[in-house]
Amino acid sequence: MNPFKAALHIQIFFALVIGAVIGLFFNPGEEHLEKNLTFSLKYEQGKVVVAEKEVDEKGNEVLVVPEVRLSAKEYSTRYPNLPKLESWKETAKPPVIEVTKRHYRLIEDAKSIHVTYCRDYNGRPVITTENLKTGKEIADKYPLFAKRYDSYRSSWSRRVTVISKTVGDIFLRLLKMVTIPLIVSSLITGIAGLGDAKRLGSMFGKTLGYYFVTSMLAITTGILMVNLIRPGVGAILPGTGSVTTFGEQQSLGGVFLGMIDNMIPSNPVAALANGDFLSIITFSILFGLFIVTAAEESRKRMTGFFQSFFDVMMGMTMFIIHLAPIGVLAFMTYATASQGPEIFGTLAWYMLTVFLALLVHAAIIMPLILKFVAGRSPWAYAKALSPALMTAFSTASSNGTLPLTMTSVEKNAGVSNRVSSFVLPLGATINMDGTALYEAVAVLFIAQATTGFELSLGTQIIVAITALLASIGAAGIPHAGLVMMAIVLQAVGLPLEAQGIIIAVDRVLDMCRTTVNVWSDSCGCAVVERLTKES
Ligand code: ASP
């Protein structure tokens, strides 16, 4: 069999496996720290100073991570399992903390150097992550890791990571290049083809209903799983040092006002230029609707024009899609070369909970919906969608995958352009089952790991509702779910820094939840097509 002539999904599958093998081979692994560590606590001018020091080769004490100064309150929320301030504040001798199992890793991609440092305090793991720009910054902030970075710089591991990230990003750029014109032409053609506003209204209602029901099912599955597995109990506390937290302080109201602003562009041309999905969708829908009501001659000319525009964009997209195996290979290589096996071990129960919940949703709940609501064979549908699903998995971006999702749904699964052009672009922005489920699991995991935090039914309901809203607000780009998590954490009063502990494994979970996001959007097409046909 000539691998270059094989069906696209077979090619992508091989690319995925080969990329994973290459990446695993070039994974630089983690460095263990054997030396004695002094972890000291001081109380100075009303602040707790937390310093983690090691003796270097010359016998000097050097800071392993930058020292942090915290208020008494920050100290107690960030380090709930360290000795209470009152117990040592007045004593001459600050407490000694036993630190065991220490390891760290450095990964450089095309844009930055990622530092991840893990250790156990009093038997509990702690992870610090930070993104730095230059080797000099490592020498200044993490002097003990600088030597390792010097040898890493000239290694094949680094080259493979940088090259695969660069090639993967080029593929993603190509996909993004066609996304906006494809959405616009596809939506306008689709809506103009619907014929009237009433049919649009019915489709709109059914689509939103589908988004809501499936997202809530996903969240419920996630919450049940966390309560069953309880991955956070006795596990982890937030990292020390300069923990990177994603997401700013944003209120729910702010996010929703922002969404409404986003939905009605004051300048549609600017919206197109900035790639604001929601604005573009609203404008294109209205444009399509008013084509229908325009005079016969204009209507024909416009419909013809956008149909041709759409055909050309489809041709261009199909061409780029042939490059998908290369893009997927690059992304998989990058993903496996840059993730750490031991860090996964540290957060294994948490990751397992997310995986299992996603699996139940994608492999049990969605197929049931496909079979009984849409009347489709789930297996055949998944096969038709496989190029899109595998691309979503490797790129972790539903927006980026959109051109592939559209072509797979229309050309392989035979869904009409009217439905797919409406359900998919809107779904890529607001229907994210995987992300919604992930938000719920991650926040409840953090809550379980935070000692003394009450996990009542009320709290879980708040988590469910805010997780839904956060998933609606999240953009279809890598790590968007992590950014939006700030909203859910805030809603139940958990510290934002708590995210520090899960950032280290976010990429892998992002890949899985993005696949579920795209899968749910695609199933939505089959469901909406069936429901609107019968009405
Ligand atoms: N990466 C996801 C997506 O593109 C969003 C998320 O971070 O959850 O669908």
What is the token pair recorded at 136? 């000099």
Determine the Cα–Cα distance for residues 201 and 404; give it in Å rounded to an integer: 27
Most confident listed range (241-245, 308-312, 365-369):
365-369
Residue 17 has pLDDT above 50, yes or no: yes
Give every CB contact of residue 54 below 8 A, 6+ residues apart in sequence: 33, 35, 36, 37, 38, 61, 62, 64, 144
- Domain boundaries defined on the chain: 31-154, 164-534
**107, pLDDT greater than 60:** yes
What's the 129 CA to ligand 1 centre distance in angstroms? 20
Report the range of poorest mean pLDDT among 18-22, 275-279, 323-327. 275-279
User: In the prediction, which pLDDT does 256 show?
Assistant: 65
166 neighbors 158 (Cβ within 8 angstroms)? no
Per-residue pLDDT of 334-372, as tens digits, reads 988 888 776 677 788 899 999 999 999 999 999 999 999
Tens digits of residue pLDDT in 434-486:
999 999 999 999 888 876 676 788 888 889 998 998 888 788 888 888 888 88
Say if ligand 1 is within 6 A of residue 392 CB.
Answer: no
For ligand 1, pick from 517, 518, 519, 522 the residue to mutate: most ligand atoms within 8 Å of CB: 517
> Ligand 1: distance of its center to the CA of 387 in Å?
18
* Residue of 219, 389, 424, 435 best suited for mutating to test ligand 1, as the one with most atoms within 8 Å of CB: 435
Contacts of 188 (CB under 8 A, 6+ apart): 284, 287, 288, 291, 306, 310
C-alpha 225/C-alpha 213 separation (Å) is 18
Partnered with residue 33 across adjacent β-strands are 102
pLDDT value at 241 more than 50: no
429 CA distance to ligand 1 centroid (A)?
9
Strand order in the sheet with 37-44: 37-44, 47-55, 61-70
Is the pLDDT score of 218 beyond 70? yes
Tens of pLDDT along 130-176?
Answer: 889 988 999 888 888 888 898 898 899 999 999 999 999 999 899 88
Spacing, Cα 485 to ligand 1 middle (Å): 12
User: CA angle 530-438-404, nearest 5°?
Assistant: 50
* pLDDT greater than 50 at residue 13: yes
Average pLDDT of the residues of the chain:
85
**Amino acid (one-letter) located at 505:** V
Please name the CATH architecture into which domain 164-534 falls.
Orthogonal Bundle (1.10)
Calculate how far, in angstroms, residue 470's C-alpha sits from the geometric centre of ligand 1.
11
Cβ contact 396:514 at 8 Å: yes
DSSP letters, 193-204, are HH-SHHHHHHHH
Q: Whose CA is nearest to atom 6 of ligand 1?
A: 481
* 432 CA: nearest ligand 1 atom: 9
- Tokens linked to 241: 């040092």
CA separation for the pair 361, 467 (Å, rounded): 16
Query: Which of 274-288, 323-337, 504-518 has the lowest average pLDDT?
Result: 274-288
pLDDT digits (tens, 9 = 90+) for 268-300: 999 999 888 788 888 998 999 899 888 989 999
Q: State the Cα–Cα distance between residues 311 and 320, nearest whole angstrom.
A: 14
User: Is the C-beta atom of 517 inside 6 A of ligand 1?
Assistant: yes
What ligand 1 atom has the least distance to the C-alpha of 438? 8
Residue bearing tokens 């939506």: 187
Closest residue to atom 8 of ligand 1, CA basis: 481
Q: Calculate how far, in angstroms, residue 475's C-alpha sits from the geometric centre of ligand 1.
A: 7
Q: Is the pLDDT of residue 518 over 90?
A: yes
